């Protein structure tokens, strides 16, 4: 049995398989960022590793996800698409400042930056194109 937001989307019949996958992707990243932690220091210790999520984004739509990163000399977040749409990516740090962006006219994004703080970063995906797009994210 499917529960929560994904179960509602499937039961209502309002979501396509791609939309259900996008909801599932949001739940995966959200669960990673909300893992039980006693303090910000504990949250930073639980960060790291590779995170991969797949989903779909309609034309003109925006999705926001929390992603946890440790302070390090280098980090990379890539978003690969099916080649449709014009995907723009904006990454905000734990202090809510924009730390990286890729808003050119291509369908995918690559963000390279130096995480100066450990904690939750927020990834905004914006499909500025005229076509829906399927995407896959990965972090390193």
Task: Say whether pLDDT at 90 is over 60.
Answer: yes
Q: What are phi and psi of 23, to 5 degrees?
A: -65, -45
d(CA 111, CA 109): 7
**3-state class (DSSP) for residue 85:** coil
Confidence at 85, pLDDT banded by 50, 70, 90 = confident
d(CA 37, CA 46): 8
Using alpha carbons, list the distances in angstroms from residue 103 to 20, 33, 46, 108, 134. 26, 25, 30, 9, 17
The reported pLDDT for the residue numbered 7 is 37
Q: What are the structure tokens assigned to 133, written together?
A: 């797009």
Average pLDDT score over the chain:
72
Confidence at 78, pLDDT banded by 50, 70, 90 = very high
For the chain, what are the domain ranges?
Answer: 4-139
Q: Does domain 4-139 sit in CATH 3.40.470.10?
A: no
The model carries a pTM of 0.66
The reported pLDDT for the residue numbered 6 is 35
Using alpha carbons, list the distances in angstroms from residue 114 to 42, 69, 140. 20, 10, 12
Please say whether the beta carbons of 136 and 79 come within 8 A.
yes
């Amino acid at each position: 049995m499917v529960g929560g937001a994904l179960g509602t989307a499937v039961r209502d019949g309002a979501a396509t398989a791609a939309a259900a996958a996008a909801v599932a992707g949001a739940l995966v990243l959200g669960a990673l960022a909300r893992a039980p932690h006693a303090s910000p220091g504990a949250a930073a210790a639980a960060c790291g590793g590779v995170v991969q999520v797949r989903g779909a984004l309609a034309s003109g739509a925006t999705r926001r996800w929390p992603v946890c990163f440790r302070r390090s000399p280098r980090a990379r977040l890539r978003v690969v698409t099916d080649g449709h749409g014009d995907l723009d990516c904006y990454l905000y740090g734990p202090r809510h400042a924009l730390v990286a962006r890729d808003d050119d006219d291509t369908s995918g994004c690559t963000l390279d930056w130096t995480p100066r703080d450990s904690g939750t970063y927020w990834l905004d995906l914006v499909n500025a194109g005229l076509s829906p797009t399927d995407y896959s994210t990965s972090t390193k």
